[in-house]
Amino acid sequence: MSASMEIRTAPHIKGTRSVEQIMRHVVWSLVPICAFYVYQYGISAAALIVVVTGSCLAAESFFVRLGGQSGDLNDWSATITGLLLALTLPPGFALWMGVVAGFVAIGLGKAIFGGIGHNLFNPALVGRAFVQAAFPVAIATYTPSFLPGRFTEFIPSTLALPLMTPADVALWLHDKQLDALAG
Protein backbone atom coordinates (compact mmCIF):
# COMPACT_ATOMS: atom_id res chain seq x y z
CA MET A 1 0.00 0.00 0.00
CA SER A 2 1.55 3.29 -1.04
CA ALA A 3 -0.78 5.87 0.43
CA SER A 4 1.11 9.04 1.24
CA MET A 5 0.19 11.36 4.04
CA GLU A 6 0.75 15.06 3.71
CA ILE A 7 1.20 17.15 6.85
CA ARG A 8 0.26 20.82 6.61
CA THR A 9 -0.44 23.68 8.95
CA ALA A 10 -3.94 25.04 9.51
CA PRO A 11 -6.40 25.75 8.00
CA HIS A 12 -7.21 22.20 7.05
CA ILE A 13 -10.67 23.00 5.73
CA LYS A 14 -11.07 26.05 3.54
CA GLY A 15 -14.31 27.92 3.04
CA THR A 16 -15.42 30.44 0.49
CA ARG A 17 -15.39 33.45 2.82
CA SER A 18 -12.43 35.79 2.77
CA VAL A 19 -10.54 37.09 5.79
CA GLU A 20 -12.19 40.47 5.33
CA GLN A 21 -15.67 38.93 5.45
CA ILE A 22 -14.90 36.95 8.59
CA MET A 23 -13.38 40.00 10.30
CA ARG A 24 -16.41 42.08 9.36
CA HIS A 25 -18.64 39.47 11.01
CA VAL A 26 -16.53 39.70 14.17
CA VAL A 27 -16.93 43.49 14.18
CA TRP A 28 -20.70 43.11 13.83
CA SER A 29 -20.71 40.63 16.71
CA LEU A 30 -18.94 43.19 18.92
CA VAL A 31 -21.48 45.96 18.20
CA PRO A 32 -24.08 44.81 20.79
CA ILE A 33 -21.38 44.48 23.44
CA CYS A 34 -20.10 47.98 22.67
CA ALA A 35 -23.67 49.31 22.76
CA PHE A 36 -24.26 47.85 26.22
CA TYR A 37 -20.90 49.21 27.40
CA VAL A 38 -21.97 52.69 26.28
CA TYR A 39 -25.44 52.23 27.84
CA GLN A 40 -23.84 51.21 31.12
CA TYR A 41 -21.14 53.91 31.33
CA GLY A 42 -22.26 56.69 28.97
CA ILE A 43 -20.30 59.05 26.78
CA SER A 44 -16.98 58.31 28.47
CA ALA A 45 -17.20 54.72 27.24
CA ALA A 46 -18.24 55.86 23.76
CA ALA A 47 -15.30 58.25 23.58
CA LEU A 48 -12.93 55.53 24.77
CA ILE A 49 -14.17 53.09 22.10
CA VAL A 50 -13.83 55.68 19.33
CA VAL A 51 -10.40 56.95 20.42
CA VAL A 52 -8.85 53.53 21.05
CA THR A 53 -10.20 52.09 17.79
CA GLY A 54 -9.03 55.19 15.92
CA SER A 55 -5.57 54.93 17.45
CA CYS A 56 -5.35 51.27 16.42
CA LEU A 57 -6.29 52.21 12.85
CA ALA A 58 -3.74 55.06 12.85
CA ALA A 59 -1.07 52.76 14.28
CA GLU A 60 -1.83 50.10 11.67
CA SER A 61 -1.45 52.67 8.89
CA PHE A 62 1.75 54.04 10.44
CA PHE A 63 3.43 50.66 10.93
CA VAL A 64 2.44 49.41 7.47
CA ARG A 65 4.08 52.48 5.92
CA LEU A 66 7.07 52.27 8.26
CA GLY A 67 7.71 48.65 7.38
CA GLY A 68 7.19 49.20 3.67
CA GLN A 69 4.57 46.46 3.67
CA SER A 70 1.71 46.24 1.27
CA GLY A 71 -1.35 46.35 3.44
CA ASP A 72 -4.39 48.40 4.15
CA LEU A 73 -7.10 48.85 6.72
CA ASN A 74 -9.65 46.87 4.73
CA ASP A 75 -8.97 43.60 6.55
CA TRP A 76 -10.71 44.96 9.68
CA SER A 77 -8.13 43.42 12.04
CA ALA A 78 -7.08 46.79 13.49
CA THR A 79 -10.74 47.64 14.09
CA ILE A 80 -11.24 44.40 15.99
CA THR A 81 -8.10 45.03 18.03
CA GLY A 82 -9.32 48.53 18.89
CA LEU A 83 -12.78 47.36 19.91
CA LEU A 84 -11.48 44.49 22.02
CA LEU A 85 -8.87 46.70 23.65
CA ALA A 86 -11.42 49.41 24.46
CA LEU A 87 -13.75 46.83 26.01
CA THR A 88 -10.99 45.61 28.33
CA LEU A 89 -10.21 49.09 29.64
CA PRO A 90 -12.15 50.78 32.44
CA PRO A 91 -14.62 53.40 31.18
CA GLY A 92 -12.93 56.22 33.11
CA PHE A 93 -9.55 55.46 31.55
CA ALA A 94 -7.76 58.56 30.26
CA LEU A 95 -8.09 58.89 26.49
CA TRP A 96 -4.39 59.60 26.00
CA MET A 97 -3.59 56.34 27.78
CA GLY A 98 -5.98 54.60 25.40
CA VAL A 99 -4.02 56.02 22.46
CA VAL A 100 -0.80 54.65 23.97
CA ALA A 101 -2.47 51.26 24.46
CA GLY A 102 -3.64 51.23 20.83
CA PHE A 103 -0.19 51.99 19.43
CA VAL A 104 1.44 49.39 21.67
CA ALA A 105 -1.19 46.81 20.73
CA ILE A 106 -0.58 47.24 17.02
CA GLY A 107 3.16 47.95 17.22
CA LEU A 108 4.27 45.31 19.72
CA GLY A 109 1.39 42.90 19.41
CA LYS A 110 0.95 42.76 15.66
CA ALA A 111 3.41 44.64 13.44
CA ILE A 112 6.59 43.36 15.07
CA PHE A 113 5.55 39.75 14.41
CA GLY A 114 4.66 40.28 10.76
CA GLY A 115 1.02 41.26 10.79
CA ILE A 116 -2.26 39.42 10.62
CA GLY A 117 -2.02 35.70 11.26
CA HIS A 118 1.50 35.86 12.69
CA ASN A 119 0.72 37.24 16.14
CA LEU A 120 2.35 35.46 19.04
CA PHE A 121 -0.21 36.99 21.42
CA ASN A 122 -3.56 38.68 21.01
CA PRO A 123 -2.61 42.30 20.12
CA ALA A 124 -5.45 43.78 22.21
CA LEU A 125 -4.21 41.94 25.28
CA VAL A 126 -0.64 43.05 24.60
CA GLY A 127 -1.88 46.65 24.73
CA ARG A 128 -3.88 45.91 27.88
CA ALA A 129 -0.88 44.26 29.56
CA PHE A 130 1.32 47.23 28.70
CA VAL A 131 -1.03 49.80 30.23
CA GLN A 132 -1.60 47.48 33.20
CA ALA A 133 2.14 47.63 33.87
CA ALA A 134 2.59 51.30 32.96
CA PHE A 135 -0.51 52.78 34.62
CA PRO A 136 -1.64 50.34 37.35
CA VAL A 137 -3.66 52.88 39.33
CA ALA A 138 -5.58 54.10 36.29
CA ILE A 139 -6.38 50.58 35.16
CA ALA A 140 -7.53 49.46 38.61
CA THR A 141 -9.72 52.49 39.37
CA TYR A 142 -13.32 51.41 39.82
CA THR A 143 -16.00 53.39 38.02
CA PRO A 144 -19.57 52.74 39.14
CA SER A 145 -21.98 51.79 36.37
CA PHE A 146 -25.25 53.53 35.57
CA LEU A 147 -24.16 56.86 37.07
CA PRO A 148 -26.74 59.63 36.84
CA GLY A 149 -25.74 62.02 34.07
CA ARG A 150 -23.59 59.44 32.28
CA PHE A 151 -24.93 60.63 28.91
CA THR A 152 -24.46 64.33 29.62
CA GLU A 153 -21.00 64.52 31.19
CA PHE A 154 -17.68 62.75 30.99
CA ILE A 155 -16.08 60.89 33.85
CA PRO A 156 -13.35 63.43 34.74
CA SER A 157 -10.49 60.93 34.53
CA THR A 158 -11.40 60.28 30.88
CA LEU A 159 -10.25 63.75 29.90
CA ALA A 160 -7.29 63.79 32.30
CA LEU A 161 -4.02 65.10 30.98
CA PRO A 162 -0.65 63.52 31.74
CA LEU A 163 0.71 64.43 35.20
CA MET A 164 -2.72 65.37 36.57
CA THR A 165 -3.55 64.49 40.16
CA PRO A 166 -6.59 62.38 41.06
CA ALA A 167 -7.99 65.08 43.39
CA ASP A 168 -10.46 66.37 40.79
CA VAL A 169 -11.80 62.88 40.19
CA ALA A 170 -12.28 62.32 43.92
CA LEU A 171 -14.15 65.62 44.27
CA TRP A 172 -16.37 64.76 41.31
CA LEU A 173 -17.25 61.35 42.74
CA HIS A 174 -17.94 62.93 46.14
CA ASP A 175 -20.37 65.38 44.53
CA LYS A 176 -22.29 62.48 43.01
CA GLN A 177 -23.21 61.31 46.53
CA LEU A 178 -23.26 57.64 45.62
CA ASP A 179 -24.73 55.16 48.03
CA ALA A 180 -23.09 51.91 49.11
CA LEU A 181 -25.00 49.82 46.55
CA ALA A 182 -24.34 52.00 43.51
CA GLY A 183 -20.64 52.45 44.22
Q: Is 15 left (phi over 0), alpha (psi -120 to 50) or beta?
A: beta
Each residue's pLDDT expressed in tens, for the chain with a length of 183 residues: 567 777 777 666 777 888 889 999 999 999 999 999 999 999 999 999 999 999 999 999 998 888 777 667 788 999 999 999 999 999 999 999 999 999 999 999 988 887 787 888 999 999 999 999 999 988 998 888 898 888 988 887 787 777 655 565 566 566 655 554 454
Domain boundaries, the chain: 28-175
Let me know: does 138 contact 122? Beta carbons within 8 Å: no
pTM: 0.81
